[in-house]
């Protein structure tokens, strides 16, 4: 059936192009080709009707045979729904996947950041000083564990703007992936 439908689509496209050319430049040869394409499309439509008749006959036979089917069990985790005035919040008991868990383990800390990340983090967390950001990253590689890295990072990154807290958390998540 898919082949017949594909043939019908091609027929329709060919007829569309031929009729478009005919409107601009009527030609007896194009008219004959268009008529042949229309006849061919009718043949394909008749073939599609035959396919549909075959499917209909097959369904009738299947209805005569009674087949017992076992329903699959679907396990749905418990869900808690909280309603507020503006939106519906759905909480499941499944663990939340953080940004750090979604990305691959980081081998080289500087390569963890895309070019856009580098510009954004340097602009919003290091007052546009990429050199200072790179220095902080170099120093963090030398630290022993994640706790030391967080302490060092909080000392080096000034969060004067309350909007930078979200950016700081994203920055921390990428660095955390290196240490964990």
**pLDDT for the residue 91:** 52
Same domain, 7 and 51: yes
Percent with pLDDT over 70 in the chain: 72
**pLDDT for the residue 131:** 92
Same domain, 119 and 59: no
User: What is the maximum span of the chain, computed from C-alpha positions, in angstroms?
Assistant: 85
Give the domain extent around 136. Answer: 99-179
Same domain, 104 and 165: yes
**pLDDT for the residue 7:** 78
| 133, burial (CB in 10 Å: exposed 0-12, middle 13-18, buried 19+) | buried
Q: Which residues make beta-bridge pairs with 90?
A: 81
- Residue at 44 is within a domain: yes
Same domain, 112 and 43: no
In which residue ranges of the chain is pLDDT below 70? 59-107
Same domain, 49 and 111: no
**pLDDT for the residue 82:** 53
Give this prediction's pTM: 0.41
**pLDDT for the residue 156:** 85
**Non-local CB neighbours of 79 within 8 Å, separated by 6+ positions:** 90, 91, 92
């Amino acid at each position: 059936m898919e082949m017949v439908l594909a043939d019908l689509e091609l027929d329709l496209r060919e007829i569309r192009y031929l009729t478009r050319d005919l409107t601009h430049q009527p030609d007896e040869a194009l008219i004959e080709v268009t008529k042949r394409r229309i006849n061919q499309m009718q043949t394909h439509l008749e073939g599609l009707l035959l396919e549909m008749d075959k499917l209909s006959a097959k369904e009738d036979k299947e209805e005569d045979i009674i087949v017992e089917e076992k329903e699959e069990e679907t396990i749905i985790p418990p869900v808690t729904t909280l309603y507020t005035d503006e939106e519906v919040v759905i909480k499941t008991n499944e663990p939340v996947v953080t940004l750090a868990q979604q990305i691959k383990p980081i081998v080289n800390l500087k390569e963890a950041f895309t070019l856009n990340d580098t510009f954004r983090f340097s602009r919003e967390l290091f007052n546009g000083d990429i050199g200072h950001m790179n220095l902080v990253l170099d120093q963090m590689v030398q630290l022993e564990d994640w706790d030391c890295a967080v302490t060092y990072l909080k000392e080096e990154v000034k969060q004067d703007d309350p909007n930078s807290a979200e950016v700081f958390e994203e920055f921390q998540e990428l660095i955390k992936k290196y240490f964990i």
